[in-house]
Amino acid sequence: MNILLIGYGKMGQTIAGLAVGRGHAIVGIVDHAASGSRIADFTPAQVDVAIEFTHPEAAFGNVAACLRQGLPLVCGSTGWLHHLEEAEALVAETNGALFYASNYSVGVNLFFHFNEYIAAKMHQFAAGYDVQVREIHHVHKVDQPSGTALTAAQGILANFPAKTSWRNAPAQSPGELTILSERQGEVVGTHEVRYTSSADTIELRHEAHSREGFALGALLAAEWLPGRHGVFGMKELLGL
């Protein structure tokens, strides 16, 4: 498979190494540090799929450029979802393919699945519990809260009706879900959902030890996407 990498930071470099090990070819790199390469320089005849991990400010422009160029795209950038409806409209207009996940780790997506199940059960059976989300990342991470924390929060809001909105700070009303964001050293990514009552505490936690889990998930998505049309995510890939 021929892959175009958009963004060549730590994630892009990890993906490149794993891709070659899985028998794929990196046919181009579009990056602010690259020598003038642009998405428009590549066509579907050269590229089977593009993988994008950049910054919130650049992500939607890259998504739009790939769709207009006819390139199936796996996007891992977070912090741009206020443009998601525009992206979905562009997918329909171009009959394109967009795969988006706030986190590509298979383990994290099982975490999302269990989070929704636990939230529904806590609503059904457990009175007197409050819930909060905590995320810890390296000091270089730009967006806050993380896209993974937001996905976890959305899973709670959809299944635990006592919470109707979220705040990236301690909640100011019972209906708000607290998301606590911390930036520490070179932490790859830790996410916790904690239910607390006067009697006990129940905690669901995912701690990443390296970027390889994220990179492998992105490659699995890239291998799955070509030939499909529409907007997809990890639930479709994993059958969750």
Tokens of 177: 């879900």
Q: Does residue 173 carry a pLDDT above 80?
A: yes
Q: What is the mean pLDDT of residues 28-37?
A: 73
Q: Does residue 225 carry a pLDDT above 70?
A: yes
* pLDDT score recorded for residue 103: 84
Phi, psi of 234 (to 5 degrees): -65, -25
Question: In whole angstroms, what is the distance from residue 149 CA to residue 178 CA?
Answer: 11
Among 148, 147, 152, which residue's Cα sits nearest to residue 113?
152
* pLDDT score recorded for residue 36: 59
**Segment 105-121, tens digit of pLDDT:** 999 999 999 999 999 99
Superfamily of domain 106-208: Dihydrodipicolinate Reductase; domain 2 (3.30.360.10)
Which residues are the active-site residues? 137, 141
What mean pLDDT value characterizes the chain?
Answer: 93
Q: What is the mean pLDDT of residues 153-181?
A: 96
Q: Where in the chain is the domain with CATH 3.40.50.720?
A: 2-100+212-238
Sequence-distant (6+) residues with CB within 8 A of 194 are 131, 132, 133, 134, 201, 202, 203, 204
CB 163 within 8 A of CB 155: no
Q: Does residue 78 carry a pLDDT above 80?
A: yes
Q: Per CATH, the architecture of 2-100+212-238 is what?
A: 3-Layer(aba) Sandwich (3.40)
Among 53, 32, 100, 80, which residue's Cα sits nearest to residue 215?
53
Q: Where in the chain is the domain with CATH 3.30.360.10?
A: 106-208
Q: Which pTM was predicted?
A: 0.79
